Structure 1
C-alpha cells in the first residue's frame, strides 16, 4: 500500500472526526478554549492557545477532506514523478500550517501558521524547476512577505496591551484609536494572502505549481487564509469596512475581465478564484461573517473539483494548457466533462447548484443594502462576467473542434484521479443545501420587489449571452494581440498589475544598481580602491625587490659615487 493511500485515509478519518465535532459544537452552542503553557520564565509566560468552536472545526474538516482527495488524486497524477514522497511531505506541511492558523486566536501562533503557508507555498510553486517557476515562486513569496511584516508589526504594537490574544480586546477596538491601527495592519495582511488589489499578481503566477497543489492551495488553504482571519476577527475591520468593500469590488471586477481574455486553462480558474475572494471580502465588509464563511466553504469544494478536472484534461493532453487546442473533449472524456460542467454551473450560481445557495443570498442581501449606484452596478456586472468566462470556457472545451494532434489516443482511464473526482463531485452536489440547513438555524426569507428578485437571474442570463458572443466574436482577441486598442490590452493584463508587481517595483533599483556597479564598483573604486592600491604596492614592492636582490652592486655603486662626490668637493 503506497504512502499516498495511507496518508489520504488518515486525513479522511480526521475529517470525519472534525466534521462531526463541528456539528456537536454548533448544536450545543459550545466554545472550547485550550491553553497550554510551554514555559514560564520570571514574569514571562509563553502559552499555546487553541480555540475550538463550530467554525474552526468545520473549516478544518473541509481542509482535511480536500487535502485527502488531493493526495489520493496525486497518486495517479504524479505517478511518474521521482520525488513524490517529497511532494506529499510538502503538502502535509502545508495542511499542518493551515490547521495551526485555523485553530489559533493568538497572534504569535497565527504568525507561525501564516509564515509556514508562505514558505511551503514557495517550495510548491518552484516544484517544477524552471525559470518561469522560480519567478512565480519569488513573486508569491515576496507578496506574502508583506502580510508577514504587517503581522509582525501588529505583534510588536500589541505588546503595549499585555496579551497577544486578540479576542480579549473585543470591546476596546471600536473606541481605542491606537488599537484600530492593529486592525488596519491585519486587514492589509489578509489582503496580501487573499490576493486583493494591489497584491493580485501572484495568484495567477502561482499556477506554475503542480495541478494537485493548485486544487488545494487555491480552493481552501493559502488564499482563504486572509478571508478566514477577517471572519475570525471581523470586529477589526469595523472602521475600514468601506475601504475593504471598494477593494473587494475592484478585485472582483478586474479578475472577471481578465479571465475573459485568458487562454491558459489553469489561469482562468485562478482568476475565477480571485473573483470569488473579492466577493467574500465584499460581503465580509458589509458585516455578514456567517454568509462569507458559508460561501468560503461551498466555493472551496467546487473550486477544488474544477482544478482536479482541469488537471485531468492537462494530463490527457500531454501537459497542454491552452484551451484553443481542447475542443470536443465531450467525446474523449465524458465523465470528467460532466464533473467540470457541474462545478462550473455551481460557480456561476445556477439555481439549485451548490454555489446558488450562497451567491443568491449574497446578491439579495446586496439588494437590501442602501448602496450607491456605482457599487451596485459593478457588483452585478462582476456576477455576469463570472458567468461569461465560465460559458466561454465550456464553449472552448466542448463545442469547438479539437485542434490537438490529428492522431491522438486521448482516453479517460478509471484510476485514482477518477475516483477522487467522483467522491468530490458527490459532496459538491449536496454541499450547498446541506450547509445552508446546518449553518442557518432559521431559513432566510428575503422579500424584494419582482425586478430586484429576478435581477440576479437576468444578469446570469446576460453573462451566458456575453460568453457566447465573446467566443464567437474573434475581433476582441485580434485587437488585444495586435495592441491596436490599449484599453483591451490593459483589461486582459489584470490592469497591468503583473508589470507593477515585478518590473514596476524592481526596474528603478536594478537600473540604479547597474549604474553604480559600472561607474563606482568597477569604475572609480577600482581605480582608487583595490586595483589602484594593488598596482601602487606592486610597483613599490618590485622596486624594493630589485634593490634587495642587487644590494652589493648598488652598495658599491653608491660607495663609488660617494667617493666621486668627495673628490669633487675636495678639488
Structure 2
C-alpha cells in the first residue's frame, strides 16, 4: 500500500515540477474560479491560483511526502494501524496543498485549520502523557494564529471579496489593510513558531519521526513563511517588517544557542528548523521574498533527510535519543552516517551543497542591505552557531567509541529506509544549484569589500572550531556547560519560553476557566438565576395544588385570609 502511494505522489510531483518550470519560463499565471454552488442570486465560488511558485512548492511537498510514506513502511512496521497513519499523513499533505494554491483567505483557513487539526492527531499518535501535553501545547499555540486569521477574514468583509491577491497593491496605503496584514503576520508567526510562540515546535517532536521529517521540512512550519511570501508587499519599509525582523532575528539566535545545550537528537534538529525559519522570516522582512522562497525549498530537502537519518539512528539505538549514548556510528552504520553528514554539511552551508546557494546569497544580500549592527550581528552569529551545533552533533554521534550497551544490533540493513534517504541525498546535493539556475536565471552582482565577502566563511570556520572544542572537552557524561549551570539552563530551555507558554497558554487560562465556572456558572448565577426560578415556581405550584384539592377547611381559611387582607386595605 505504501509503495502505491509513493509511486502515485512521486509521479504527481514530477509532473507539477515540469509544469512549474514551464510557468516560470513563460511567466504564466492561472487564476481559476470554480462555482461550487449557485442559489438564487448567491454563488459560492472556490478560487485557485496556479503560478510557478505554488506549482514548484507543491512538487517539493509531494516529493518529500512520497519518500516519507515509503520510509514509514519500514519505520512504522511494528504499528498494527499503519493504514490509519498513512491516511493521516495524506490528509496532512492535502491540507498543505489547499493552503498553497489558495489566493483566498477562506480557503486558506480551510487548509490552515486542516494542518492544525491533523498535526494534533499526529503529535498524540503515540498515546502517552508526554504526547498529550505536547499536542495540547501545539494545538493551543496555533489556535492564537487561527483566531487572528478569522479576525482578518471578518475585517476583509469591508472590501467585498476575500481574494486578498487583488488588494495587495493598495494595502500599503490603507490603514485597514495594514490591520489585516498585521493579523496575518500574527497568524504566520504562530504557525512558523517565532518568538514568543516558539515552545510548541520542539514539543511537537513527540510525533513519530516520519511525521517530524514532513512537518519540519515542507509542510506545517513553512505554511506561515509561505503565507507571508504572498503578503510580502506589506513588509517592505513598514513597521510590520521591522517588528518581524527583530522577532525572527531573535528566534534564529535563541534557537541556535539552545541547540548547543541540547542532548536530545530530535530536539537539536527541531531547534535547527526553528533557526532556519527565523532566517527565512528575517530575509523576507528585508524584502527579499525570492530568497526566502529559495531557502524554504533547499531547506526542505536537507532537513527531511536529516530527520530520516535521525529516525534510522533512533530505530537502531532501541528508541534512545540521547546523543551522549551514541558515538562511533560511522563504523556501524556507514550509509546512514554518510547521508547524515551530507545533510549536516548542507545545513552549515558547505560549498556546492543545497544549503550553500541559498544561505550564502542570503548573507551577502544582508551585508548589502541597509540594516543596523544588531541585526547584522544576529544574522552572522546565528550562522556561526548553526555550524557549531552541527559539528557538536557529528562529534558526539559519529566519531569516537560506541557509548551504549555492548550488546547491540546496529546495522544499515533497513533497505526501504535507505532507499528513501538516498532519494533525498541526491536532491540535497544537486537541489540548490538546480533551483539557483531556475529561480535566478540572471546572475546577481553583489559587490562587497574583501573582509565582508570572506566574513561568511570566517564565521562558519570559527563556529565549527568552537563546536568541536566544546564537544571535545565535554565527552561522555562530563558536560563542561554544567560548570555555568544557570546560563546552561537559561539557554537550553529556550530562554524559559516553554515554562511561560505552558503556564500562559495552558495552565492559567484553564485555572481561570475552572474558577469562573465554579464561582459563576455553578455558583451565584446558578443560585440567583435558574435554581431560584425553579424553587419559586415549585413552591407556587405546590401552594396552587393545595388550593385546588377542594379541601373545605383550607378553602374557608383562604377565604377568611382574603377578607382580612381586604379589610386592612379599606381601614388603612
TM-score (norm 1): 0.89
Runs of 4 or more off by more than 6 Å in structure 1? 513-531
Aligned equivalent of 1:217, options 211, 215, 218: 215
Three-state SS of the structure 2 residue aligned to 1:399 is coil
User: How far off is 1:491 after superposition?
Assistant: 1.0
CA distance in 1, matches of 2:336, 2:131: 28
Distance 1:53 1:418, change over 3 A: same
Counterpart of 1:161? 159
- Asked if residue 456 in structure 1 is aligned to residue 463 in structure 2, the reply is no
Counterpart of 2:92? 94
Counterpart of 1:111? 109
Three-state SS of the structure 2 residue aligned to 1:36 is strand
Counterpart of 1:356? 356
Kindly provide the CA deviation profile for residues 74-126 of structure 1, in whole angstroms up to 9, marking residues without a partner as x.
11111111010000000000000000000110111000000000000000000
User: How far off is 1:353 after superposition?
Assistant: 1.4
Three-state SS of the structure 2 residue aligned to 1:104 is coil
CA distance in 1, matches of 2:526, 2:174: 57
**Contact residue 136 and residue 205 of structure 1 kept, 8 A:** yes
Unaligned runs of 5+ in 1: 532-571
Of the structure 1 ranges 132-141 and 440-449, higher mean CA displacement relative to structure 2 is found in 440-449
**Contact residue 140 and residue 505 of structure 2 kept, 8 A:** no
Three-state SS of the structure 2 residue aligned to 1:171 is helix
CA distance in 1, matches of 2:514, 2:92: 38
Unaligned runs of 5+ in 2: 532-572
Distance 1:457 1:27, change over 3 A: same
Kindly provide the CA deviation profile for residues 472-512 of structure 1, in whole angstroms up to 9, marking residues without a partner as x.
23399857658x64333111100111001102444445555
- Asked if residue 237 in structure 1 is aligned to residue 225 in structure 2, the reply is no
**Contact residue 391 and residue 467 of structure 1 kept, 8 A:** yes
Of the structure 1 ranges 405-414 and 6-15, higher mean CA displacement relative to structure 2 is found in 405-414
User: How far off is 1:372 after superposition?
Assistant: 1.1
Counterpart of 1:315? 315
Distance 1:51 1:518, change over 3 A: closer
Kindly provide the CA deviation profile for residues 503-541 of structure 1, in whole angstroms up to 9, marking residues without a partner as x.
24444455556777899999999999999xxxxxxxxxx
- Asked if residue 124 in structure 1 is aligned to residue 122 in structure 2, the reply is yes
Of the structure 1 ranges 209-218 and 466-475, higher mean CA displacement relative to structure 2 is found in 466-475
Three-state SS of the structure 2 residue aligned to 1:172 is helix
User: How far off is 1:411 after superposition?
Assistant: 1.4
Aligned equivalent of 2:191, options 187, 190, 193: 193
CA distance in 2, matches of 1:265, 1:44: 54
Paired residue total = 531
Counterpart of 1:466? 466
User: How far off is 1:379 after superposition?
Assistant: 1.2
**Contact residue 327 and residue 400 of structure 1 kept, 8 A:** yes
**Contact residue 303 and residue 343 of structure 2 kept, 8 A:** yes
Counterpart of 1:133? 131
CA distance in 1, matches of 2:215, 2:515: 40
Alignment of 1:148-547 (within 5 A): 148-238=146-236, 239=238, 240-474=240-474, 485-509=485-509
- Asked if residue 83 in structure 1 is aligned to residue 84 in structure 2, the reply is no
Distance 1:95 1:491, change over 3 A: same
**Contact residue 479 and residue 485 of structure 1 kept, 8 A:** no
CA distance in 1, matches of 2:275, 2:524: 53
User: How far off is 1:424 after superposition?
Assistant: 1.1
Kindly provide the CA deviation profile for residues 326-360 of structure 1, in whole angstroms up to 9, marking residues without a partner as x.
11001110001000001100000111211010000
Of the structure 1 ranges 505-514 and 21-30, higher mean CA displacement relative to structure 2 is found in 505-514
Distance 1:519 1:364, change over 3 A: closer
**Contact residue 306 and residue 344 of structure 1 kept, 8 A:** yes
Kindly provide the CA deviation profile for residues 25-56 of structure 1, in whole angstroms up to 9, marking residues without a partner as x.
01111101111011233443221111111000
Distance 1:78 1:505, change over 3 A: closer
Counterpart of 1:27? 25
Counterpart of 1:66? 64
**Contact residue 184 and residue 237 of structure 1 kept, 8 A:** no
CA distance in 1, matches of 2:368, 2:529: 72
CA distance in 2, matches of 1:323, 1:189: 34
CA distance in 2, matches of 1:297, 1:519: 52
CA distance in 2, matches of 1:151, 1:513: 24
Three-state SS of the structure 1 residue aligned to 2:35 is strand
CA distance in 1, matches of 2:260, 2:59: 33
- Asked if residue 39 in structure 1 is aligned to residue 37 in structure 2, the reply is yes
CA distance in 2, matches of 1:405, 1:500: 38
User: How far off is 1:8 after superposition?
Assistant: 0.7
Counterpart of 1:553? none
Three-state SS of the structure 1 residue aligned to 2:92 is helix
**Contact residue 261 and residue 477 of structure 1 kept, 8 A:** no
Distance 1:162 1:316, change over 3 A: same
User: How far off is 1:311 after superposition?
Assistant: 0.3
TM-score (norm 2): 0.89
Three-state SS of the structure 1 residue aligned to 2:466 is helix
CA distance in 2, matches of 1:508, 1:406: 47
